[in-house]
Structure 1
Amino acid sequence: MEEQRIIRSEYSEIMQQSYIDYAMSVIVARALPDIRDGLKPVQRRTLYDMYELGIRYDRPYRKSARIVGDTMGKYHPHGDSSIYDCLVVMAQNFKKELPLVDGHGNFGTIEGDSAAAMRYTEARLARVTQEAFLADLDKDIVDFVPNFDATEKEPAVLPVKIPNFLVNGSEGIAVGMATSTPPHNLAEVIDAQIALMQDETLSTRQLMRYVKGPDFPTGGIVINKDELAAIYETGEGKIRIRGKVETEKAKNGHINLIISEIPYTMIGAGIGKFCADVAALAEKKVTNDIIDISNQSSKEGIRIVIELKKDTDVENFTNLLYKKTKLEDTFGVNMLAIYNGRPETMGLKSILQANIDFQFETARRKYTTLLQKETDKKEVQEGLIKACNVIDLVIEILRGSKTRAQAKDCLVNGVTDGINFKSRESVVMASQLHFTERQADAILEMRLYKLIGLELDALIKEHEETVANIYRYEDILEDRTSMSMVIQEELRSIRNEYKQKRKTEVGQFDEAVYEEKPEEEIDVAFIMDRFGYAKTIDATTYDKNFDTIKNDFKYSFKIKNTSRVCVFTHLGNLHTIKVQDLPAGKMRDKGVPIDNVSNYDTTKEQIIAVLPQSSLNIYRLLFVTKSAMMKIVSGGEFDVTRKLVAATKLSDGDELLSVSVVTDEESCVLYTENGYALRFLLEELPDQKKTAVGVHGMNLAKNDSVSDMWLLKPEESREVAIGEKSFDIGTIKIAGRNTKGSKLKLK
C-alpha cells in the first residue's frame, strides 16, 4: 500500500496563492487582450470557430445561436451570454472602428437598445476579418494549443496583420487592473507602423504625425490635443471629448441647436440621460432659453434637437451643456495588454513595435512553410520532367513489375530483379535510375494525359515558376529588408482596401466657460401649509389675500426670488431651500412637499421654524431648547449655501423647542410641562455662535421640560392659550435668569 503523507501549510499562504492563481487566470485568460492580435480569448475563439464552421463573408449567414453553442462547446466554456455579447459588440459599427462580424438582424442600437436573442439574429465573418485576421492559418503561422478538454486545437493567437489593439481599442476589467484603449483610424495606424518599420528611431511625437489621436466611431471632438503626446508616451491619461454641435434656424424664428455627433462615452443609455439632463436644466431654471428638446436620431445618424428662444446666446448655452451635461466627457486611457505573457501598460511606439515583431515572426513562419512546400513541389516536378524524358523506360518498368513496391524500388534504387524487360539495354538503363521517394510516388500516380505535349510544356512552365518562388522565399527569409518590404506591401493593400475617413476632430480648445445670466431680483411670497406643502406666489397676490393666507397656512412671508428659505428642525438642523427650486403657483395650487426640495427627513425631524434667509442678516435669533438652554445668535451666521448644516449644538437627549426673531422685545417667558413660568429680560442672555450649546434660561425641576416660549415687548399685555385655559403672560413679574420661576394659577 502506497504511503500517504499529510502536508501541513499555513492557511493564509494557501489563500494567497489561490487568489494569485485566480487573478492571473482572469487577467490572462479572460479580461485583457493580447498585444499581438488585440483580441481577448472569447473574441479570438468566436472568430476562429466561425472560420472553422466555414461562415465566411461570401457565404450565407448562420444563426448566432449555432455560433455561440459551437464556440462554447469547443473552446470557451464560460456561458453563452458572454460569447453572444462578444459577437454582438464585434458587429456594432458604433462601438468598433473596424467591425469584425457581419451581423444580420437586430444587433442593438447606439441609443442603448439591446440586441435580439441569439435565436433570431444571424452572422458571418466580415471580409476584413477573413483577409487580415484569419488568413494563412494553414501555413503553421501561429502556435495551436489544446482546448479546455484537450479534444480540439485552437490558435494561441490569431495571425492579425494590423495593429488591432489600437484600431478597435478595448475595454476590460480584470482583478486589480483594467484596460481602456480608444479606437484609432486604420489608415493612420498602418501609416505609423510602416514609418516605424522604415525608421526604428522615430519617437512617439514623430509617430503622431501619422496618428493624430483617437478616432471614435461616434465622431465628436477631442479637445485636449496638447496632452495626447504624454498619453501616447506613457499609455495612460485622460482624453476629453465633446459632441459636435451645429445651429439652424427654425420656421418660427427660434434657433435649433443640433447635436449630430456624441462623445463615445455617451453610447447607449447616455443619450437618454443627456436629454433628461437638458430637460432638468429648464425645470430647475438653470436656463430659461430652452423651449423643447427632441431626439430625432435614426439609422442615418444622431440628431438631437434643442429648440431655443430667439435671443439665446448660443455659444454661452453650448458651454452650459459642456459644463452641466455629458456633452463633454472624459475617456480614461490605460493601454494595458498581455505582452510576453504578462500584463503591461504600453505607449504608442511600444505597441507598434510589438506588432512589427509579431508580423516578422508570422512572416518568417509563413515563408518557411511556403518554401518547404515549393521545395517539395520542385522535387516532384523535376522527377516528372525527368520521367517524361524516359517515359518509354518507365512504362516498360511498370508493365514488367508484379507489384507497386517492386516498381518503386526500381525507380528509386535501380533494382531490376524480377522485372520483365524487353531488352538488355532497358535493364542497364533501369539500373541507373535514382528517383527520390517523393518523385517515385508522383510517377506512379501520374495520369497518362500528362504525356500530352501541351501538358508537358505546362509542367515545365510550372517548374520555372516554382524555382522563382523558391528564390523569392529564400530572399525574404534571408534578408530582413526584403521581408519588411513584403509586410509593408500587405499593410498598404489592407489600408487601401479598408481605409475610412477620420470621424473624430482633434484640436486644442479652451475650457468651456458659462456665464450665468443674473436673474432679475423680485419680491415673491413663500407659503407652506400644515402638511408641509410649499410654493411661492406673486407678492401682489399675497398682499390681497393676507388675512386668508395667515389663517390657512402655517408659515408665510415675503422673500426675494434669489434668496433661500431656512427650515429649522427639532434636531438642531438647518435646511436651506432655494426659492427658485420651489414651484411658482397660484393660491389654489397644492405646491410641493418640502422634503422633495431639501434634505429634510419627514420620518425623523419636525419643523419648528421657517424663516427667510434674506432677512436674517439684520436680525438676531433666539434659540430655546426643551432643557431650557438658551442663546442669541446673529442671523448672519445662517447665510449659508449648503443644503444642510447644524443650526445649534444640542446636549444628549435635548431637542430644539423654538427659533424666534428678536426685534424690539424686552423679555421672554418660559413655561414648563409642570406648569411653572419664568419671565426674565433678554439682556441676560449672551450673544453666542451657532456652534455653542447656550446658557441655562431656567432652573428646571427633575423630569420637567420647557413646553412654550413667548417674547414680550415692554408693558405688553397678551392673553395666551395654555391647554383649555388662557392667561395674561404680561402679568408675570420679571425675575432673574436661571431661577425656578413660579407656578401659574390658571383660570
Structure 2
Amino acid sequence: MAEQIVKTEYSEIMQKSYIDYSMSVITARALPDARDGLKPVQRRVLYAMDQLNLGHDKPHRKSARIVGDTMGKYHPHGDSSIYETLVVLSQDFKKGMALVDGHGNFGSIEGDGAAAMRYTEARLQKFTEDVYLTDLDKNVVDFLPNFDETEKEPEVLPVRVPNLLINGADGIAVGMTTNIPPHNLAEVCDAVCAYMDNTEITTKELLEIMPGPDFPTGGIVINKSDLEDIYETGQGKVKLRGKVVYEPATKRSERDKLVITEIPYTMIGANISKFISDVLDLIETKKTSDIVDVSNESSKEGIRIVLELKKNADYKNLENMLYKKTKLEDTFGVNMLAIVNGRPETLGLKQVIKHHVDFQFDLATRKYTTLLKKERDNKEIKEGLIRACDIIDLIIEILRGSKNLAQAKDCLVNGNVEGINFKSEKSKASAAKLDFTERQATEILQMRLYRLIGLEILQLQKEFEECLKKIEKYEKILSSRKEMAKVIKAELLRIKKDYARARRTQILDAKEAVYEEKKMEEKEVVFIMDRFGYAKTIDISAYERNKEAVHAENKYVFTCMNTGKILIFTDTGNMHQVKVKDLPYTRFRDKGTPIDNVGNYDSSGENICFLGSEATIKNKKLLFVTKNGMAKLVDASEFEVNKRTVSATKLGEDDSLVGVYTTDAKIAIYSKFTLEGGIVEEEVVESNQNVCLASANGNILKFPLTDIPQKKKNALGVRAMKLAKDDHIDEVFLVTDGDEVTVEYKKKELNLTNLKLAHRDSKGSKIK
C-alpha cells in the first residue's frame, strides 16, 4: 500500500492540541462540578471508599489500599495527587465538613505534612455516607465507563447539600482558577430552603440567612458591606483578621499578654511560622519594643500564640500593628468558578443554589421513579401471593399433576391444563381460568410452605397495604413539584438537625487598623562593617572606648544619624540604599548582620566602590571613574531618591566602576576606596585638587579636577585617560596642590606631588 503523507499547518496542530489539553485539565482535573461540588479525584476517592465498604461503623483501612483502588480503577494520574486529596478531605481545619475519618498522622494546621500512606488509615465519615453517597443504588445518577472500560463510576455523586458552598473549593486549571470559601452547613440549608420557597429571592435576602463565609479556623471577616457584590458576581476579596485577646496579668510574677486564638484561613500551614517570624522581625528591627517574648502554645484544642508584653504597653496599638505589619490581616480572593453542563462558569450565590436545587429535583425524580417501579413490581407480586393463598389447594393440585416446572408455570400464566393430571373436572376447569403474570407465577412457584401459616397470610396482607400507601406517596411526589420540594426541604432540615454546628467566623464591618509608629529618637551613631560584610551600628561612647579595635577590625567606620541611610555604590554602576534603622543597633562585640540581607546589594555579584552615609555626600560632587578610563562629576543631589536601588551611572560595554569619590570646589576629603577597599587616609583641607589615574600597565596621569565636566547621573562621561588596548585604570588618587602625598603603587613608593601636571585624555607617563 502506498504511503500517504498528510500535510498540515504546524501551528494549527499545536493550537488544537493545547486547547484539547486545556479543556481536559479544566473539566476533568482542576475544577469542581456545580452539582456535587467535587473535583473528579475527590469524587473517585469517596466512591472507591464506598465500594471498599469503609463505612463510619467499619474498621479503618490502610490509606495505601484506598489510593491503590482509586488509581487502579478510576483515577490513573499518580498516587501522590490521590493521597493528597484523601488527606485534605480528612482535615477539619481546611474543610467546613470533613468527609473522611483519618486515623494516624494526617498533618496539622501548622503545615506539618501527613505521614506516608502506608502508615495512615481512613474510613468515611457518617456525614459523607448519609449526605454524599446514599441512594447510589436507586439509579439517581448516570454511571460511565472508567478509563479502561473495565469498571463503572458515577458521573456525579448524589450530594444532598451544596458542597460547593459548604466545603468550598480551590483549583488551578489552564488560564483559570477557582477559589470558593467554606460556609456554615445550617445557614446554607436554610438558604436553599428559602430559595425553594421563593425563586425570586435576592442575593441580599439570601445573605440575611447566610451572612457569608464560615471558615473552620474562625477569625473575623471585616468587610461585610462588600459581600453582597462578591456573592452577586462570584468574584471579589474577603478581608480576614485573626482574633486577638488581651489577657492582663493576674500575678505580680506574670506579664500582660496578647493571645491570638483564631487565625485567618489563609494562614493555615507554613504561614503560622511565618507570622511568628514576622513578629520576631518587628522586635529585632525595633519596630516595637513592647513585646518581650513570643511563644506558640497551639495544640489539638486550638490555636494559641502568646505575645508577652512589657509593663504598661499600649496593647491596642500593638494589635493594630500586627494587623498592619503581618498576615494576621489578609485577603481571601473569591472566584466562584465551577463546571456547569461541561463548561467552566463563574457563579454568583443564587446561581450556585439554583444549580443545586435543579440537581436535587433531578435526583428526587430519578429516585422516586425507581422506588415507584420497585413498589409497583412488589404490589404485583403481593397481589399474586394473596390470590394464590386463596386457591392454594388448586395450585398444589396443579403442581402435583404437572410433569415439570415449565408446564406448571404455563398453567398458572396462560391457563393451559393440557398434560396435567387433575383430581376432578372442576379443578381442571378452575385451572383453565388462571391468568397470573410471569412475575407472580415465578414468586408462587418459589413460595415456601410456611407462608401458608395464618399469621404469615395476615402479614402478607399488611405488606400489601403498605405497598399501596408507598405507591400513592411516590405518585403524589412525582406528580407535583411542590410535593417534591417538601421532601427535599425535609431532607435538608434533617441533615441540618443531625450535623449542623455553630458559626465560627464573625462577620462585621470593621474600621481599618490604624497603627501609630513610635518615632525613633534621632541620634548620632557609628556605622561599622567588617571585611566579611557584617554591618551594625554602635553607640558613640562605645566607639570612643574601643576606637583602636574598631578601626583595626573593620573595613568601614563612620558616623551617621540613626534615621538616615547608608549609600552603597558598586562596580556595576548601581547605588543601593540601606536604612540605618534596619541595621542592628548592638554592642561592639556583637556580630551584626550581612548588609546584603537588609538591602538589594548582592555581595556575590557586585563589589563596593564607595560606602558612606547621606551626610558624606551632602552638598558635594561625586567623581566617577571607570575601568576603561571614563570619568565625570555628578552633583550629589541627584542621589536624593527613595528607591532602594537606582542606576548611579551609565557604563559602556565591558566597563565597570573603579571608584567613586566626594569633592567640592574648595574642600577635598582624601578618601581612597578601591576594589580591595579600606580607607588610606582622611583629611579635610582648603585647596585645589588634581586627579591621578594609574593604569595596570604602569602609566600614570595627573591633571586638574576641573578638566572633568559635571554631568547627569545617567550620562556616560568623558575619556579621562588614553589607554592601550590591553590596559585599564587600576587606581585613582585625589591630590591637593601644595600637599606632599606619597602612596604605595606596584610595590613602589610614588610621590604624587612631584608628578608633572598634564591634560585630561592623554597617555600619561610611565612609572619608573
TM over 0.5: yes
More off after superposition, 198-207 vs 648-657: 648-657
Matched, 1:213 2:236: no
The 8 Å contact of residues 169 and 179 in structure 2, kept in 1 or not, is answered as yes
Residue by residue, what CA displacement relative to the aligned partner does 1:364-414 show, whole Å, maximum 9, x if unpaired? 111111111111111111122222222222222222223222222222222
State how far apart, in whole Å, the 2-side matches of 1:293 and 1:422 are: 101
Matched, 1:460 2:461: yes
Aligned twin of 2:419: 418
Aligned-residue offset at 1:628:
6.1
User: How is 1:597-608 mapped onto 2 (pairs within 5 angstroms)?
Assistant: 597-608=598-609
The 8 Å contact of residues 672 and 704 in structure 1, kept in 2 or not, is answered as no
Aligned twin of 2:714: 691
Matched, 1:666 2:710: no
User: How is 1:551-570 mapped onto 2 (pairs within 5 angstroms)?
Assistant: 553-570=554-571
The residue type equivalent to 2:135 in the other structure is D
State how far apart, in whole Å, the 1-side matches of 2:701 and 2:149 are: 92
Task: Quickly say closer, same or farther: Cα 1:43–1:627, change in 2 above 3 A.
Answer: closer
Residue by residue, what CA displacement relative to the aligned partner does 1:431-455 show, whole Å, maximum 9, x if unpaired? 2222222222222222222222222
State how far apart, in whole Å, the 1-side matches of 2:52 and 2:535 are: 68
Aligned twin of 1:60: 59
User: How is 1:346-357 mapped onto 2 (pairs within 5 angstroms)?
Assistant: 346-357=347-358
Aligned twin of 1:147: 146
State how far apart, in whole Å, the 2-side matches of 1:540 and 1:219 are: 51
More off after superposition, 4-13 vs 363-372: 4-13
Task: Quickly say closer, same or farther: Cα 1:686–1:469, change in 2 above 3 A.
Answer: same
Matched, 1:184 2:183: yes
The residue type equivalent to 1:668 in the other structure is Q
The 8 Å contact of residues 693 and 733 in structure 2, kept in 1 or not, is answered as no
Task: Quickly say closer, same or farther: Cα 1:576–1:473, change in 2 above 3 A.
Answer: same
The 8 Å contact of residues 566 and 579 in structure 2, kept in 1 or not, is answered as yes
The residue type equivalent to 1:660 in the other structure is T
Aligned twin of 2:290: 289
What RMSD, in angstroms, separates the aligned Cα atoms of the two structures? Answer: 2.8
Task: Quickly say closer, same or farther: Cα 1:729–1:456, change in 2 above 3 A.
Answer: closer
Task: Quickly say closer, same or farther: Cα 1:144–1:628, change in 2 above 3 A.
Answer: closer
State how far apart, in whole Å, the 2-side matches of 1:551 and 1:122 are: 64
Task: Quickly say closer, same or farther: Cα 1:453–1:587, change in 2 above 3 A.
Answer: closer
The 8 Å contact of residues 669 and 710 in structure 1, kept in 2 or not, is answered as yes
Aligned twin of 2:518: 517
Aligned twin of 2:364: 363
**Aligned-partner SS, 1:209:** helix
Aligned twin of 2:675: none
**Aligned-partner SS, 2:240:** strand
Aligned twin of 1:110: 109
The 8 Å contact of residues 571 and 656 in structure 2, kept in 1 or not, is answered as no
**Aligned-partner SS, 2:339:** strand
- TM-score (norm. length: structure 2): 0.90
State how far apart, in whole Å, the 2-side matches of 1:419 and 1:77 are: 61
Matched, 1:655 2:643: no
The residue type equivalent to 1:513 in the other structure is V
Residue by residue, what CA displacement relative to the aligned partner does 1:438-474 show, whole Å, maximum 9, x if unpaired? 2222222222222222222221121111111111111
**Aligned-partner SS, 1:319:** helix
Task: Quickly say closer, same or farther: Cα 1:728–1:195, change in 2 above 3 A.
Answer: same
More off after superposition, 516-525 vs 11-20: 11-20
State how far apart, in whole Å, the 2-side matches of 1:724 and 1:437 are: 118
Task: Quickly say closer, same or farther: Cα 1:394–1:706, change in 2 above 3 A.
Answer: closer
Aligned-residue offset at 1:685:
5.8
Aligned-residue offset at 1:228:
1.4
The 8 Å contact of residues 139 and 366 in structure 1, kept in 2 or not, is answered as yes
**Aligned-partner SS, 1:208:** helix
**Aligned-partner SS, 1:411:** helix
Residue by residue, what CA displacement relative to the aligned partner does 1:583-633 show, whole Å, maximum 9, x if unpaired? 334444454444444333444443333322135334444445566655544
User: How is 1:158-307 mapped onto 2 (pairs within 5 angstroms)?
Assistant: 158-250=157-249, 251=251, 252=253, 254-307=255-308
Task: Quickly say closer, same or farther: Cα 1:645–1:184, change in 2 above 3 A.
Answer: same
The residue type equivalent to 1:690 in the other structure is K
Aligned twin of 1:708: 732
More off after superposition, 378-387 vs 641-650: 641-650
Structure 1 unmatched runs, 5+: none
State how far apart, in whole Å, the 1-side matches of 2:602 and 2:127 are: 60
Aligned twin of 2:91: 92
- TM-score (norm. length: structure 1): 0.92
Aligned twin of 1:82: 81
**Aligned-partner SS, 1:260:** strand
Residue by residue, what CA displacement relative to the aligned partner does 1:286-315 show, whole Å, maximum 9, x if unpaired? 222221111111111111112222232222
State how far apart, in whole Å, the 2-side matches of 1:248 and 1:325 are: 21
User: How is 1:612-623 mapped onto 2 (pairs within 5 angstroms)?
Assistant: 612-623=613-624
Task: Quickly say closer, same or farther: Cα 1:86–1:397, change in 2 above 3 A.
Answer: same
Task: Quickly say closer, same or farther: Cα 1:725–1:387, change in 2 above 3 A.
Answer: closer
State how far apart, in whole Å, the 2-side matches of 1:198 and 1:599 are: 61
Aligned-residue offset at 1:650:
4.0
Matched, 1:381 2:382: yes
The 8 Å contact of residues 658 and 709 in structure 1, kept in 2 or not, is answered as no
Residue by residue, what CA displacement relative to the aligned partner does 1:660-689 show, whole Å, maximum 9, x if unpaired? 243533311222435655353x66665544
Seq. identity, %: 56
Structure 2 unmatched runs, 5+: 668-685
More off after superposition, 635-644 vs 723-732: 723-732
The 8 Å contact of residues 616 and 638 in structure 1, kept in 2 or not, is answered as no
The 8 Å contact of residues 575 and 644 in structure 1, kept in 2 or not, is answered as yes
Aligned twin of 1:443: 444
The 8 Å contact of residues 670 and 706 in structure 1, kept in 2 or not, is answered as no
